[in-house]
């Protein structure tokens, strides 16, 4: 976790250190574990992290560095691409296959619902969710 100091205030990367279902999404963010987060998120074995892909319309391997770091605990990655389904670039799909992750793009709403079901089933699931308005 990195931290920066701005005029006496410590600013840390957004991180919830546990697995939790997503209670709501929209208005540019998500609600989970009785908290809210504005912006996109990664739901990983290590917890829920704030996420800022460089360009949410064109994902790159670097956008998923944390996912690749935790690949041993992930079988399925649900990629919520916003309001509409956007396919993942072939090179990115191949990079996920190499580490044993099945990456499934879908709208953010569908990804949230699917993530909650698979999480309740105690599956090795992760999600990369682009915030929607």
Question: Residue 4 falls within a domain, yes or no?
Answer: no
Give the CATH number, domain containing residue 79: 3.40.1230.10
Question: Residue 66 falls within a domain, yes or no?
Answer: yes
Predicted confidence (pLDDT) per residue in 66-117, tens digit: 999 999 999 999 999 999 999 999 999 999 999 999 999 999 999 999 999 9
Question: Residue 3 falls within a domain, yes or no?
Answer: no
Confidence of residue 16 (pLDDT cuts 50, 70, 90): confident
- pLDDT at residue 4 greater than cutoff 60: no
Model pTM above 0.85: yes
Q: Is the dihedral of CA 6, 53, 109, 133 positive or negative?
A: positive
Residue 75's domain comprises 16-129
Question: Residue 10 falls within a domain, yes or no?
Answer: no
Question: Residue 42 falls within a domain, yes or no?
Answer: yes
Question: Residue 122 falls within a domain, yes or no?
Answer: yes
Question: Residue 71 falls within a domain, yes or no?
Answer: yes
Q: What is the DSSP string of 34-86?
A: TEEEESEEEEETTEEEEE--S-TTS--GGGGHHHHHTGGG-SEEEEE-SSS--
pLDDT score, position 1:
39
Question: Residue 11 falls within a domain, yes or no?
Answer: no
| Percent share of the chain, pLDDT over 70 | 89
Query: Total structural domains in the chain?
Result: 1
């Amino acid at each position: 976790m990195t931290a920066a100091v701005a005029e006496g205030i410590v600013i840390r990367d957004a991180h919830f250190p546990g697995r939790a279902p997503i209670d709501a999404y929209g208005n540019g963010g998500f609600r989970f574990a009785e908290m809210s987060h504005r912006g996109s998120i990664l739901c990983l074995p290590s917890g829920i992290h704030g996420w800022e892909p460089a360009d949410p319309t064109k994902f790159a391997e670097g956008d998923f560095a944390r996912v690749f770091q935790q690949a041993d605990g992930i079988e399925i990655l649900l990629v919520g691409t916003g309001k509409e389904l956007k396919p993942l670039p072939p090179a990115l799909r191949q990079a996920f296959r190499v580490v044993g992750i099945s990456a499934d793009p879908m709208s953010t709403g569908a990804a949230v619902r699917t993530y909650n079901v698979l999480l309740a089933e105690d599956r090795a699931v992760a999600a990369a969710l682009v915030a929607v308005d």
